């Protein structure tokens, strides 16, 4: 079961602007990179991560410009991760050819553009958070390919760190204290687990549990911001309606 992404309707113009920023940020190699992007058109994380980043950044009070810029940064991080993931090891029959070299070089190029973007947006003090995120997903790829892990564990280590880090950095840039930043990160973690587990019908009960945790954290955080009908709240509501049905929504 996939989300219908109804919450993105309020972000239509921002998402259109993101597409332009995204392509511009990868010049002059866009024609080469577009091949990889096309392959991600049905990837749920690829589709949902940018609007989720926008939603949490707007919710935390950041400007439209920064919300789009950070969405682009996280999108590029995920793209680099997926391209690097195309590189296999000897046991998997990796061919040492031009394609291998290009995958590594393009992935590294995009990672370099991420660093440049962090400097340009004056958010380079978040570099350690991004480094930790990349380390987590790289470790997750080892777990995925080398260990006999569950779907839940693979999702938790290869995809959810993007959500958790997006929520954490939004809170840090808003100037919140360490405890509040921790709440944001936990909310991102549970949001990401809900979304990603929802791809597997067997995992819907687990997804439901994460939705409930996300709602509780949102309720706690929203007491301070007193926001209503935000894109973030709509996204959480959409998760609730898909996995919890007619249960009472905790943030009402």
Q: Domain range holding 69?
A: 6-243
28 token code pair:
């002059």
- Give a yes or no: residue 197 inside a domain: yes
Whether the pLDDT of residue 171 is over 90: the answer is yes
Whether the pLDDT of residue 237 is over 90: the answer is yes
Query: Average per-residue pLDDT in the chain?
Result: 88
The number of residues making up the chain comes to 252
Report the greatest alpha carbon distance in the chain: 56
pLDDT digits (tens, 9 = 90+) for 18-45: 999 999 999 888 888 898 899 999 999 9
- Give a yes or no: residue 248 inside a domain: no
Mean pLDDT of 79-101: 63
pLDDT of residue 6: 87
Share of the chain above pLDDT 70, in %: 89
Secondary structure of residue 97 in the 3-state scheme: coil
Whether the pLDDT of residue 97 is over 50: the answer is no
- Give a yes or no: residue 40 inside a domain: yes
CB burial of residue 209 (10 Å; 0-12, 13-18, 19+): middle
pLDDT of residue 70: 98
User: Cα–Cα distance between 157 and 72 in angstroms, integer?
Assistant: 21
> Which one, of 204, 211, 216, lies nearest residue 238 by Cα?
211
User: Cα–Cα distance between 123 and 140 in angstroms, integer?
Assistant: 26
- Give a yes or no: residue 252 inside a domain: no
Whether the pLDDT of residue 150 is over 50: the answer is yes
Task: State pTM to two decimals.
Answer: 0.91
146 versus 92: the higher-pLDDT residue is 146
User: Cα–Cα distance between 108 and 134 in angstroms, integer?
Assistant: 12
1 token code pair:
């079961």
- Give a yes or no: residue 185 inside a domain: yes
User: Cα–Cα distance between 20 and 216 in angstroms, integer?
Assistant: 36
pLDDT of residue 15: 96
Instruction: For residue 198, report the phi and psi dihedrals to the nearest 5 degrees.
Output: -65, -15
pLDDT of residue 5: 78
- Give a yes or no: residue 249 inside a domain: no
> Which one, of 35, 19, 112, lies nearest residue 72 by Cα?
19
- What 8-state DSSP symbol labels residue 249? P
Whether the pLDDT of residue 251 is over 70: the answer is no
pLDDT of residue 247: 58
Q: What is the CATH number of the domain that holds 97?
A: 1.10.600.10
Mean pLDDT of 218-227: 86
Band (pLDDT 50/70/90 cuts) for residue 116 is very high
pLDDT of residue 248: 56
> Which one, of 137, 39, 142, lies nearest residue 89 by Cα?
142
The number of folded domains in the chain is 1
Share of the chain above pLDDT 90, in %: 65
Sequence-distant (≥ 6) Cβ neighbours of residue 157 within 8 angstroms: 136, 137, 139, 140, 143, 144
CB 184 within 8 A of CB 221: yes
User: Cα–Cα distance between 88 and 100 in angstroms, integer?
Assistant: 9
User: Cα–Cα distance between 8 and 80 in angstroms, integer?
Assistant: 24
Least confident of 102-106, 190-194, 213-217, 245-249: 245-249
User: Cα–Cα distance between 166 and 78 in angstroms, integer?
Assistant: 12
């Amino acid at each position: 079961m996939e989300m219908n992404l109804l919450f993105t309707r309020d972000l239509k113009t921002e998402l259109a602007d993101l597409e332009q920023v995204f392509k511009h940020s990868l010049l002059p190699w866009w024609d080469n990179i577009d091949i990889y992007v096309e392959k991600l058109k049905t990837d749920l994380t690829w589709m949902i991560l940018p609007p989720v980043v926008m939603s949490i950044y707007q919710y935390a009070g950041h400007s439209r410009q920064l919300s789009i810029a950070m969405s682009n940064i996280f999108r590029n991080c995920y793209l680099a991760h997926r391209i690097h993931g195309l590189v296999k090891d000897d046991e998997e029959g990796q061919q040492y050819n031009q394609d291998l070299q290009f995958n590594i070089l393009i992935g590294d190029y995009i990672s370099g553009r991420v660093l440049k973007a962090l400097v340009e947006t004056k958010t380079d003090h978040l570099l350690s958070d991004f480094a930790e995120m990349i380390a987590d997903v790289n470790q997750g790829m080892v777990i995925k390919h080398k260990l006999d892990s569950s779907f839940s564990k693979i999702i938790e280590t290869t995809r959810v760190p993007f959500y958790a880090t997006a929520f954490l950095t939004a809170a840090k840039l808003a100037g919140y204290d360490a405890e509040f930043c921790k709440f944001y990160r936990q909310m991102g973690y549970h949001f990401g687990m809900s979304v990603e587990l929802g791809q597997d019908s067997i995992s819907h009960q687990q997804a439901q549990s994460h939705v409930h945790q996300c709602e509780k954290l949102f309720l706690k955080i929203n007491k301070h911001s007193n926001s209503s009908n935000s894109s973030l709240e709509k996204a959480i509501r959409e998760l609730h309606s898909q996995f919890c049905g007619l249960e009472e929504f905790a943030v009402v």
